[in-house]
């Protein structure tokens, strides 16, 4: 982390008023844009500062520099609370990431189960078609045995399998049920005609049932079984991938949480700093920055004069949204190369 390089010069003149003179000149000066207040009035007693410090030193360019610093309490409190939130969020992210691996396995199994159900459906469909086909073949054999001399017992609908064949025989069985068959001299002829019509329909229907069964077995069933095989192979590959990724993800999360914990443990405070070069014609404003002070270094974020002095003129103990943005951006840089 970078630090502002300065050479601090002990001011023995502290007793003689040297320090007080430079600092006083800065405090009594006014910033452009805030003419109604001196610098000392703006920065001296801010509610947001738990402590302030003014000091004078000579920098590496042999300039007399006065530095003001404020331990910015709202920022410190915000980042300490943010550390707790960051840790909790990281824990949730770790748990969710590892849970995703479990969900991935469950999803693979669900897809396989659906494909297997499709296979069962195809098998059931094939069995149904095969049953219709065989039943219709039996019906044709029974229809061929009918003649003009057939009795109502030969026309019993319970002897036939296919619903359409039963519908062909419906008028005949109705006549049998109400007794009119025995009184109808043309009943035998009606049986012969119905027989011809039913057999003709059955012979036209049998090929379509046979081709439908063939398609069901060669296209639908084979496709469903191939899908089960492909999904099973895919699931095995995913399983191997998960077994490889699980420890890797765990290590990544642990490393992230360790970095976050180190950041929170090492964090000390937010410090706001402004500097002036003291020249014969008067103080010259050099700039301001926000420091995040850690036990293992300092993160420095330069800010505009307006950022510091507008906040100071409002004299609020609350953390402004723009200040929060600066803190968030700088906070995220901890542990990264600058």
Q: What is the pLDDT of residue 5?
A: 34
- Is the predicted pLDDT of residue 45 greater than 50, yes or no? yes
Structure tokens, 332: 């995220």
For the chain, the average pLDDT equals: 88
pLDDT band, very low/low/confident/very high, at 52 (cuts 50, 70, 90):
very high
**301 φ, ψ to 5°?**
-125, 105
Per-residue pLDDT for 251 more than 60? yes
Which 3 state secondary structure label does DSSP give 72?
strand
pTM: 0.62
Sign of the alpha-carbon torsion through 316, 320, 323, 324: positive
Band (101; pLDDT cuts 50, 70, 90) = confident
Q: How many CA atoms lie within 13 A of 274 on its CB side?
A: 24
Residues 6 or more apart from 62 whose CB is under 8 A from it? none
Q: For residue 299, what pLDDT band results from cuts at 50, 70 and 90? A: very high
Report the C-alpha gap between 150 and 187 in whole angstroms.
9
The one-character DSSP state at 5 is -
Going by pLDDT thresholds of 50, 70 and 90, the confidence category of residue 4 is very low
CA dihedral over 45, 47, 50, 56, signed as positive or negative: negative
Rounded CA-CA distance 137/66 in Å is: 109
179: pLDDT strictly greater than 90: no
The pLDDT assigned to 337 comes to 61
- State the average pLDDT over residues 100-110: 89
Distances (CA, A) of 69 to 43, 140, 220, 274, 302: 9, 105, 79, 7, 14
First to last CA, the chain: 6
Confidence class for position 7, pLDDT limits 50, 70, 90? very low
State residue 270's pLDDT score: 98
Q: C-alpha angle with apex 211: 210 to 214, nearest 5 degrees?
A: 90
CA atoms of 267 and 87, how far apart (whole Å)? 14
**Is there a contact between 337 and 306 (Cβ–Cβ < 8 Å)?**
no
- Read off the DSSP letter of residue 294: E
Given a contact cutoff of 8 angstroms between Cβ atoms, the answer to whether 325 and 311 are in contact is no
C-beta atoms surrounding 155 within 10 Å:
19
Q: How many residues does the chain have?
A: 338
Helices (H), the chain: 18-28, 39-43, 73-144, 163-168, 170-178, 187-215, 222-266, 305-314, 321-331
What's the CA gap between 187 and 149, in Å, rounded?
A: 9
pLDDT above 90 (res 1): no
| Torsion (CA) 125, 129, 135, 137 in degrees, nearest 10 | -160
Percent of the chain, pLDDT > 90?
A: 58
Task: Assign residue 237 a region (left: φ > 0; alpha: ψ between -120 and 50; beta: otherwise).
Answer: alpha
Q: Residue 140: is its pLDDT beyond 60?
A: yes
């Amino acid at each position: 982390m970078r630090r502002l390089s300065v050479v601090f010069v002990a001011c023995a003149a502290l007793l003689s008023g040297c320090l007080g003179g430079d600092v006083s000149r800065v405090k009594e000066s006014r910033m452009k844009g805030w003419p109604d207040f001196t610098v000392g009035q703006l920065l001296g007693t801010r509610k947001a500062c738990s402590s302030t410090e003014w000091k004078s030193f000579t920098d590496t360019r042999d300039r007399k520099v006065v530095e003001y610093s404020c331990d910015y309490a709202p920022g410190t409190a915000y980042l300490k609370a943010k550390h707790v939130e960051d840790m909790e969020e990281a824990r949730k992210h770790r748990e969710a990431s590892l849970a995703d691996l479990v969900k991935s396995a469950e999803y693979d199994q669900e897809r396989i189960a659906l494909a297997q159900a499709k296979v069962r459906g195809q098998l059931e469909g094939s069995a149904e078609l095969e049953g219709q086909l065989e039943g219709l073949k039996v019906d044709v054999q029974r229809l061929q045995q009918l003649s003009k001399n057939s009795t109502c017992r030969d026309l019993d609908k319970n002897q036939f399998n296919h619903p359409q064949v039963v519908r062909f025989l419906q008028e005949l069985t109705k006549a049998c049920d109400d007794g009119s068959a025995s009184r109808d001299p043309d009943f035998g002829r009606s049986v012969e005609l119905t027989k011809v019509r039913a057999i003709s329909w059955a012979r036209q229907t049998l090929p379509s049932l046979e081709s439908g069964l063939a398609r069901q077995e060669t296209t639908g069933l084979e496709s469903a079984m191939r899908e089960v095989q492909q999904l099973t192979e895919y699931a095995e590959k995913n399983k191997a991938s998960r077994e490889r990724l699980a420890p890797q993800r765990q290590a990544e999360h642990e490393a992230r949480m360790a970095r976050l914990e180190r950041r929170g443990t090492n964090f000390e405070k937010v410090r706001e700093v402004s500097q002036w070069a003291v020249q014969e014609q008067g103080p010259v404003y050099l700039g301001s920055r926000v420091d995040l002070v850690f036990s293992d270094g300092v993160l420095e974020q330069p800010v505009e004069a307006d950022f510091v002095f507008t906040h100071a003129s409002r004299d609020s103990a609350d953390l402004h949204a723009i200040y929060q943005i600066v803190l968030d951006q700088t906070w995220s840089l901890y542990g990264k190369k600058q």
